[in-house]
Structure formats: structure tokens, C-alpha cells
A and B are shown apart, each in its own frame.
Chain A
């Protein structure tokens, strides 16, 4: 059987990079395979995808050796237009893949390029939207969609073009667990129906193991493993070395369809209502200007020293709720008290010292050129004396192990995403807030980076900080949080200890936590 993708001793280095990003790759992929690509951040996974699609070398400058042949064409000499139309590539960030201003136009854009008539375009738009579960979303603008919905649109717009090969580079990072599962299930269905070859890049071992029939493991631009999925998990030593997560139930019992995380219940204590709440919310309701009712009559108490995971499906109101904690959103109905005082009584500067807020994308939160300037930014805004600024800076840079990066990198711009996230955390923590809120700390990060970041949060929690995270990651919920708050369609379902939540299948379904 002839491979449809073949790398022949292929090496690649970007113009600006010092080292080879892909080194002597020899790889054959056959029609109708479902390939999983794994590896730590910076291993070369995305670069490999761009080489298959032709973006490398056709549209990217760099040094090249060897050849890649895809669908019988050498990517050095093929036309980008042809490769792009036959090989669909879905990127990680759905925001930047949304080119047009409505969902319908977005899907139609590629179909118009194929020269299809209006009736066929209409049929394919309907088909693609049904495929990803977004029927009726034709006229929606990107700003009206959640991250997960945008990711579905990105997949729909590629699928509508009916590519022969579909490459997905972390396509479900913004989705809740059920959303992730649904997308991969859809991919499996269309692979069979359309005889499609699918290449899926993911950090999630469970998903790769469950759906892919072959796994390619990359590290430092080299293939470290290329074989059957059933063989993959037998290389525990290699996987541990590369920081690839091996779910306990998979490593012990082989491939399982039932993905549960109850075996990893965190051992911390659940804070009970014996003390005064640090945050108290009563009858909070909030609707956005487009009349979306984001929160409905929420009453809730959060106590000092809790480690809370706020969970729920995409669009359940999690981010809207936490933005009320520090006054970024004003309640339209109901009240919020921080340390027994109404939240709106606090000034911006006072609030910054009570509640620290870490955004999902550190790029939104880094304003200065150097690590020192960034960490000192908040302290200077709050007019701390110079001695105090110096002391706090030294304290936080050592706590988060950032000093070595300050010596290496002149500008924060050159830091990797993981380090930028750590710097964003440092710049918030330096203000010594009583409560730390972190929005989606694990999105798009590999297992090792997640572990490193969560370890920092765990240490802070042990130092009596109140930690609130929003996450879709079942591992993080089970391993680190002590309490969960479940939201569904703007309603507070329950606040309960994580250990109890992990035993309650009904609540897990509501929170889009389990697959059953």
C-alpha cells in the first residue's frame, strides 16, 4: 500500500531558530489512519503539521533538508492552494481562524474558493454545522460565540471543504470534557464515512489512546516512538521521561473506554462553614447587553483557605461569576460582600490587594518589557515604598523560580508560554492578595507544565491562600481542588467537596465532567 504522506529524511529549521525543529524525520502515513501526535511543548508537533499542509516550506522561511510527499505531491514544488484545499488544518486558537464576520460566511469562504455553486455551498454549510452541533448558528458573529463554539466552527469550515487529510493541532483545548469527547467522536465518524486520514495533535493521552490507531511521539524534533496505540502505553519509562501523562486506569488495566479520575482524589481538607465567609454572594443575577442571562439568582459563600474549582459546561457562567468577585462586572441584581463589605465599596487599588486575577492568556496580562518591570508594575501603581518593592520582588522571583529567566532573556516577549504564565502569576502574587483566581490555567499546556503550575498553586494554598480556579481539566479538579462549585446555564447547582463530587455521577454529568 502506498503512503499518502511520506517524510524522507526531512529536517527543518526556522529562519530565526538556532536548532533544528525537525531532525531527520522518516515517516509514512497511510489512507484512513487516525494518527495521534504527542510530545512535550516545543517538540515540533505543530511544525510537523505545517510540513504536511505545505505551509512549510511554501509560506515559511527556513532551512530545509529532505522531502515531504503528500498525496503524490512534493511539498517543495506543489501549489499552496491545492495542498490547502486537499489537506485541512485546524489550528489551536479558534479566534484567529475566524476570518469572516458570520459563521455562515466563514464556512462559505473555503467553499467559494472550490468553485461550488450556491445550492451546494448551502447544503455543505448545513451539513457541516449539523456535524459539529451548531445548527441555527449561521448568522452568529464570532463575538457572540464561546471559545468552544468557535473551535467547532473552525472544524466545520474545514470539514465542509471535504479534505482528504484532516490535521487538528490541539483543536479541543477550549472545550469542556464532553465537548472534547464529542468532537473526537465526530472525527472518528467522518473518518469512516469519508475514508479520511486524520492526524490529531493532543496533550491528552486518554483521547489519543481511545481513538487513534497509531501514535507518533516527538521530542526535540525527533520521533521517539511510532507505533500501534496498544504498544504506546507499554513505554512507561519513555513517557515519564517526556512528561506524558499516563492515566492510572490505563497504565494498570490497558485501554479503557471509561475515563474516570476518581482514583486521583486530592487529599486536602474541605473548609466548612465554621468561620466568616471571605466572599459572600446573595441572589446574584446578571445579563449581558445581548440579553444572554449569564447568572441566575446565585447565592454562595466562599471561606478563607479554600481551594475551589469552578466547573461547568462551556457558557455556563463561570467567568461571568468570577468577574463579579473583584468588581470587574457590577451585579444587576443581588449583592456581593468581600470580608463583610460590599464589593463596590472597594477602590480598584484596594481590590488589587485582596483579589489577584490570572487570565487564561498571559499575553493579556503582561504589559512591561522586562521581568523586573512586570513584577514591580502593580506595586508601583499602588505606590509601595522602594524598599518594600525590592523585598517583595526578590521574594516572588525566588518563589516562582524566575531569576534564571531574568538573566537569560532581555525581554518578556521571548519567554515561552509556560514561563509567561508563571510571570503573570508572579506579577499578581507580588501584591499578596488574600484570594487568587486563575482562569483556565491548563489550556494548551503539556502535562509537565500543568503539573509545575498547579504545584505552585498547591504550595500557595498550603500557605493559607484562598485559591479559585476555573478549569475543564478533570485531572486538575481531582488532583488539586478541595471543593467544587458547579454551574449550569447560569444556575448554581451545588458547592460540595471534590471527594463527594467524584462519587456523584449525576453532578458529573451536569458539569460535563464525565463521558458516560
Chain B
């Protein structure tokens, strides 16, 4: 996985996300999820480590909420599989109608699956592709230097912003500013104060960085510029491109025919 061209990895995330949105069938989505999990394993993303625990729990709770909400608040045609109940909260006035059909559950399950697939793809994007990979990848495919520099400065700016944020927050705490045991409006006011300082600091830093680039004689356009980290596309990158585009076209076909790759596969082989 690490030997893949960074652009192949980005394209993979992008196309698989589109495919997840297009595929109509729950079983196809399940297969995509399995593929997603294989990606995560190959990229050696420590999904069950301590650092991810909170994120995973939050994500699971969010998905359970989405599933239950869909079941309780949507009405879909289909066979009633659970129950149908009219809840009257005020006299002679219907407030809420719960109707859970087989289609409700299928759709809720599909939405949840799509959400899980997207979550894994996002993890793969943010952890499996480093900022460095991305910039080298962009430069290798001859994206203009200006764009690569902007992407690079965005990453650099984010890391500087993070450092400055924690320093300014600490400095405020040393002056008696509470961030934990205060009301939400006060908390918002405190964070606004931090961001005002940060904006001023970032303006200054941007100015200095731009002077530093100019002072080193680095032009935005240059015919002589070479690339130190050059990653050419390999055979496996091309194979991934072709495979993903074929899958995309097939998914569009399934969407319009309301078909299923899994069911088609089972029909052929059984």
C-alpha cells in the first residue's frame, strides 16, 4: 500500500466515496465495506489503538442514532416488519406515526453502511496519505508549482496554527482564564479571544514566510525547476485507475437498473 503513488491513493478515496453513494444495494455496500477494511489493514492504520478509541465510540454512537432516527421518523412503503403505532400526545391530535417496514430497515442500514464506508475512507485519506506524500504526488504529476506551494503552505500553516493555539491558550490560562469550568457563552468568548490573537500572529507569520520565499529567489514560475522527489506512475497504479473506473461505470449501471453486483454474482455461480 505504501508503494502506491500518492495520487492513486487520493483517487481511490475519491472514487470509492462516489461508488458508495451510487450503489443502491445493501449487500453491495457490505462488500465495499469489507474492501474498505482491507484498505485500512494494508495501510496499517491502528484502528483499535488508544488514540482512536474516543473517535470510534463517538462514530458508533452517531451511527446508531442515525439508524434509530431513520427507523422512527421515516415512513417507507413495504411489509410491516416491526410494528405500527400512532402516538397521540394531545387530545384528538395525531403527533407521531411510527411505521417500520422492511424497506425502512434496508434504507437505514444502507445509510449507516455508507456512513461507515466514508468514515474508513476518510481515515485512510488523513492517516494513510501523509501531507508529504500528497505534495510529492502533486508535483510528480506536474501540477503547477504555485498550487503545490499553496497546498504545502496550508499544511505548514495548520501545524503552526496548532502550535500557536496551544501556546496562546496556555498564556491565557496563566492569566486566570478558565476553559473548563465555565458557562458555554464564556467559553465561546474565551475562544474568540484566542482566535483574535492567532489571526494577528498568522498574518505576521504569513508576511515573514512570503519574504523568506522571495529572499531565497524562489520564483513561482520557472522552466529550469527540477523535482527532487519524483514518483512516476507504475503498472499497479494504472491497474488501480482502470479497475476503479470500471467499478464506477458498473455502479452507475446498477443504480439505473436497480441491480446488485452480489445478487448477479450469486445468480451466475449458483
Interface residues of A (CB under 8 A from B): 50, 53, 55, 59, 80-86, 88-89, 91, 93, 95-102, 105, 108-118, 121-122, 141-143, 157-158, 161, 323, 326, 328, 347-349, 351-353, 355-357, 359, 363-367, 377-378, 381-382, 413, 427-428, 431
Known: A101-B155, A143-B159. A431 touches B193 (CB 8 A): no
Is there an interface contact between B159 and A55, defined as CB atoms closer than 8 Å?
Answer: no
User: Can you spell out 11 A-B residue pairs with CB atoms less than 8 angstroms apart?
Assistant: A88-B216, A97-B209, A101-B135, A115-B224, A115-B226, A117-B226, A348-B173, A359-B167, A363-B200, A364-B164, A364-B201
Is there an interface contact between A326 and B217, defined as CB atoms closer than 8 Å?
Answer: no
- Chain A residues within 8 Å of B209, by CB: 96-97, 99
Give which listed residue, A50, A122, A431, contacts B176 with CB less than 8 A.
A431
A351–B204 CA distance with the chains assembled, in angstroms: 31
Is there an interface contact between B132 and A101, defined as CB atoms closer than 8 Å?
Answer: yes
With CB as the reference atom, state the residue of chain B lying closest to A83: B217
Interface residues of B (CB under 8 A from A): 131-132, 135, 149, 152-153, 155-156, 159-160, 163-164, 167-168, 170-179, 181, 193-194, 196-197, 200-201, 204-205, 208-209, 211-219, 222, 224-230
Known: A115-B226, A381-B176. A95 touches B217 (CB 8 A): no
Is there an interface contact between B201 and A363, defined as CB atoms closer than 8 Å?
Answer: yes
Known: A121-B226, A349-B176. A55 touches B217 (CB 8 A): no
Known: A99-B156, A100-B156, A142-B156. A112 touches B172 (CB 8 A): no
Is there an interface contact between B174 and A363, defined as CB atoms closer than 8 Å?
Answer: no
Sample of 8 more A-B contacts, CB < 8 Å, known A101-B155, A359-B167: A88-B216, A97-B209, A105-B228, A115-B222, A143-B163, A349-B176, A352-B175, A353-B176
Is there an interface contact between B152 and A99, defined as CB atoms closer than 8 Å?
Answer: yes
Is there an interface contact between B219 and A81, defined as CB atoms closer than 8 Å?
Answer: yes
Kindly provide the distance from the CB of B145 to the nearest chain A CB, expressed in whole angstroms: 9
Interface of A is mostly: helix
Interface of B is mostly: helix
Is there an interface contact between A110 and B218, defined as CB atoms closer than 8 Å?
Answer: yes
Is there an interface contact between B228 and A85, defined as CB atoms closer than 8 Å?
Answer: no
Known: A59-B211, A99-B153, A101-B155. A431 touches B171 (CB 8 A): no
Give which listed residue, B175, B181, B213, B217, contacts A431 with CB less than 8 A.
B175
- Taking each of B155, B214, B215, B227, which has the highest tally of chain A beta carbons within 10 Å of its own beta carbon? B215
- Chain A residues within 8 Å of B214, by CB: 55, 59, 80, 84
A81–B221 CA distance with the chains assembled, in angstroms: 11
With CB as the reference atom, state the residue of chain A lying closest to B162: A143
Known: A96-B208, A359-B167. A105 touches B132 (CB 8 A): yes
With CB as the reference atom, state the residue of chain A lying closest to B179: A348
